């Protein structure tokens, strides 16, 4: 699994909570993206790429902590529903990207994603359903259905690119400086990156039980792999 582009969003999972399973429901609202701005730029001849959802992926490693951590599970959270646009140009300062993903569509503990992070426990179906339910309690998708990211290139040095990424989640926005790898192949753009963030960056208190002897770690490892297809109007 390739490493990926950073933007963040925070996921809180309950490591042993007993909430009832929640139905997996696709969020129906439209992604909060400046679509018209990118389409107009492409019509003017700018180089614009539209993200291809089935070739893009976000992964988050959510770790367990506390003195009784052995009783819980680490989790792999994923979004396979990335939407957005990337504009590139001769001047890196003029490049930009906007990405969004729906929080209700987050996937918990798909086996291949657990394998990617080499997680060493096996949560049951009930564990996974309860993790998803508690995650939604924290993220409140009825009020905040999308996580969004806005990125600009800060510097380029060979294959290394530094991005300034503004992530909006749960009513808060946080800026990150993130290293990424960007590649352009024919009419495709591929971006990979990895970042470490904290739930507390967004005002979220990590879930804990029994006075913190079993808790969710504040730190999250986020990976992105983004593929974009060039928009053309000729």
* Alpha carbons 134 and 167: distance in angstroms, whole number: 22
CATH T-level assignment (fold) for domain 35-230: Lipocalin (2.40.128)
CA distances from 4 to 16, 153, 199, 224 (A): 29, 16, 19, 3
What integer pLDDT is reported at residue 65 of this predicted model? 67
Q: Which helix H or strand E contains 40, and what residues bound it? A: helix 35-43
Q: What is the pLDDT of residues 104-148, one digit of tens each?
A: 999 999 999 999 999 988 999 998 998 898 888 888 899 999 999
100: left (phi over 0), alpha (psi -120 to 50) or beta: beta
What integer pLDDT is reported at residue 214 of this predicted model? 65
What integer pLDDT is reported at residue 152 of this predicted model? 94
Number of DSSP helices (H) and strands (E) in the chain, helices first: 3, 12
Question: If we measure between CA atoms, which residue out of 95, 81, 108, 11 comes closest to residue 48?
Answer: 95
Structural domain boundaries in the chain: 35-230
Q: What is the pLDDT of residues 95-114, one digit of tens each?
A: 999 999 999 999 999 999 99
* Alpha carbons 76 and 62: distance in angstroms, whole number: 6
Q: What is the pLDDT of residues 55-67, one digit of tens each?
A: 999 999 998 765 6
210: left (phi over 0), alpha (psi -120 to 50) or beta: left
What integer pLDDT is reported at residue 4 of this predicted model? 34
What integer pLDDT is reported at residue 98 of this predicted model? 97
Question: If we measure between CA atoms, which residue out of 10, 14, 11 comes closest to residue 123?
Answer: 14
* Structure tokens, 93: 């300062």
Low-confidence ranges of the chain (pLDDT < 50): 1-28
Number of residues in the chain: 234
Q: Which helix H or strand E contains 64, and what residues bound it? A: strand 57-65
* Structure tokens, 186: 């024919």
What integer pLDDT is reported at residue 185 of this predicted model? 85
In degrees and rounded to multiples of 5, residue 48 shows phi and psi of -125, 135
Which residues have CB under 8 Å from 86's CB, separation 6+? 48, 49, 51, 95, 96, 97, 189, 191, 226, 228
Q: What angle do CA 112, 195, 205 make, to 5 degrees?
A: 90
* Alpha carbons 178 and 163: distance in angstroms, whole number: 5
């Amino acid at each position: 699994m390739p490493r990926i582009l950073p933007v963040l969003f925070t996921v809180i999972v309950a490591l042993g909570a007993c909430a009832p399973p929640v139905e997996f429901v696709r969020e129906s609202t439209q992604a909060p993206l400046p679509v018209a701005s990118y389409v107009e730029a492409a019509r003017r001849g700018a180089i614009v790429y539209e993200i291809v959802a089935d070739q893009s992926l976000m992964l988050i490693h959510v770790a367990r902590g506390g003195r009784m951590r052995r009783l819980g599970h680490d989790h792999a959270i994923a979004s396979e529903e990335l939407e957005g646009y990337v504009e590139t140009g001769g001047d890196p300062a003029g490049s930009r990207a906007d990405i969004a993903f729906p929080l209700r569509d987050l996937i918990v503990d798909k086996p291949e994603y657990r394998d990617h992070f080499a997680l060493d426990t096996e949560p049951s179906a009930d564990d996974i359903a309860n993790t998803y339910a508690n995650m939604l309690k924290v993220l409140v998708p009825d009020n905040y259905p999308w996580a969004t990211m806005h990125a600009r290139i800060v510097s380029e040095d060979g294959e290394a690119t530094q991005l300034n990424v503004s992530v909006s989640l749960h009513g808060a926005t946080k800026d990150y400086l993130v290293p990424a790898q960007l590649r352009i192949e024919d009419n495709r753009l591929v971006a990979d990156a990895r970042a470490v963030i904290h739930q507390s960056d967004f005002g979220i208190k990590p879930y804990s039980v029994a006075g913190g002897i079993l808790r969710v770690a504040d730190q999250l490892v986020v990976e992105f792999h983004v593929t974009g297809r060039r928009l053309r109007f000729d």
